[in-house]
Structure 1
Amino acid sequence: FYAENFKESYDNGLQEEVIYIGTHKLSDAVEPQTSNHKRQTIGELILSPTRTYAPVMKQLLENQFDKIHGLVHCSGGGQTKCMKYLPGNFRVIKDNLFEAPEIFRILQQNSSSNNKEMYEVFNMGCRLEIYCEAADAAVMIDAASQFGIDAQVIGRVEASDKKELLIRLGGEEIRY
């Protein structure tokens, strides 16, 4: 539908089999799979507001700069982006990630991607990571909550003999 009606919306150099491969239209309603999600259209899910972290980051950088060891905005590299910025051999363990928004389940179904690919490509609902000592996490979480931003400890960093990321989702472990 979209490929035929909106030829200007994609690069003509793309192979035809990868252009609009999903089964949905933007107006299709999506039934939520969990009680944490509400009934919305595909278009509403795609256009759901993106948060700006500038106000909370301004406050944290002004007041907690010395406690912040690293920041990773998980767009363009998904949950694996943190590995690009590790200063040495460390293992990042993410075992308490936020529940992924419904749009990612739909993308995964339509692309037949596995969890490893999804978490490598997409942020899966965890958009910004602040690396700090465990004892300082509550201060960071409190600052986020003052701006109406959900925040939580999603994991930890350990010494390792190599750079590694381990994501735990229920009983599944994904290694990068």
Structure 2
Amino acid sequence: MSEISKSELYAQAGVDLEAGYESVKLIKSHVARTQIKGAIDSLGAFGGMFDVSALGLKEPVLVSGTDGVGTKLMLAFAMDKHDTIGIDAVAMCVNDVLVQGASPIFFLDYLAVGKNDPKRIEQIVKGVADGCVESQCALIGGETAEMPDMYDADHYDVAGFCVGAVDKAKLIDGSKVEVGDVLVGLASSGTHSNGFSLIRKILLKDAKLDLHAYVPELQKTLGEELLTPTKLYVKAMKHLFDQIDIHGASHITGGGFYENIPRMLKKGQGVTIDTTCYPHKPIFDYIQKIGHVSNKEMHNVFNMGIGFIIAIAKEDAQKAVDLLKEINEDAYIIGEVTDSGSVDLKW
């Protein structure tokens, strides 16, 4: 026993410390790309650090969000493609803090693996860093845990935690939402990171489709389409924050339109939305056709081509659409706030 080092014993238990050290070396350059004003170099420390005073906010309010990627990960395993799933982890968190009017300032990730593969971990963290760079927030820390027996050797889980900041006077809390406000919807990139248990059931389990097969309707393989990263709305929303009075906002995630839109409304308020006034992504028509899914069920699970919605005064609606077009963001006037107390969709 004395001739076997602790690291060798740990390796026999399934945890490779040396691979862990190699992973840290490989991800350092990706972490460095995300540094912004206020971020304090803390890679390797026990806690990530950020100097909030560097933001110059009068009354800073911190807004936090945490999320994972869900069973979309199973497609990454099947496709052996791991360089974009980290973008999903970032997007699911930063898009949530944007809803309150906060700009993301830092992010931490948690990666649990069955076996530490430094090259694969580098690809995952590269995606996280890509998402942070696009979101203009710093990756200030994270954790990688090798957990044999908990996960298969080729499997992992990834989750994230984001903090954003906003001046207290500029918080978006839904208190300004009024009947007659117009809804502006920002286009999604596709399925984002929601509804993949249903997607896998319909397309992979029941229809037994091949992820590597080219699908004419999608103009790419099924796997490429489904692994399209969740759209980040940071650039779009930061472009609007100081130019439009946003009364309410909603990130369309799991639960689709029916669950997420009411979260920005006052009691007794509802919305009407014309789903024919914006283009649907082909992937949703494909899922609906293959699975024989009703319109209501589709809108109760998926974003259907609209990943983020804002409620604003009627006179600001076209201005918001035009401002977003300036930065090549597709946006549409899709409906209005009512006193119905329900989400009413026209299709």
Calculate the TM-score normalised by the size of structure 2. Answer: 0.40
Q: Is the 8 A contact 2:252 2:309 kept in 1?
A: yes
Aligned amino acid, residue 216 of structure 2: E
Map 1:12-161 → 2, pairs under 5 A = 18=201, 20-21=204-205, 22-32=207-217, 39-64=219-244, 67-80=245-258, 81-95=260-274, 96-160=276-340
151-160 or 101-110, which deviates more: 101-110
Q: CA deviation at 1:49?
A: 4.7
Q: Which has the higher contact order (CA 8 A, sep 6+)?
A: 1
Deviations 1:27-64 (A, max 9, x none): 222222xxxxx622212221335332101211211332
**SS of 1:75 mapped into structure 2:** coil
Question: Cα 1:76–1:97, aligned 2, differ >3 Å: closer, same or farther?
Answer: farther
Note the alpha carbon deviations across 1:61-100, whole angstroms, 9 max, x for none. Answer: 1332xx2110111112211210233212123010144222
More strand by share: 2
Give the share of equivalent positions with the same residue, in percent.
30
Separation (CA, whole Å) in 2 of partners of 1:18 and 1:57: 34
Distance 1:159 1:144, change over 3 A: same
Task: Give the partner amino acid of 1:27.
Answer: H
The amino acid that maps onto 1:124 is M
Q: Is the 8 A contact 1:73 1:129 kept in 2?
A: yes
Aligned-partner Cα distance in 1 for 2:239–2:201: 43
Name the aligned partner's letter for residue 114 of structure 1.
Answer: S
Aligned AA (2:213): D
Q: Structure 1 residues 99 and 59, CA, compared in 2 at 3 Å: closer, same or farther?
A: closer
The equivalent of 1:172 in structure 2 is none
**Aligned-residue CA RMSD in angstroms?**
2.9
Please list the CA deviations of residues 83-140 of structure 1 after superposition, one character each: whole Å capped at 9, or x if unmatched: 2332121230101442221111222233332111110100001111010011101121
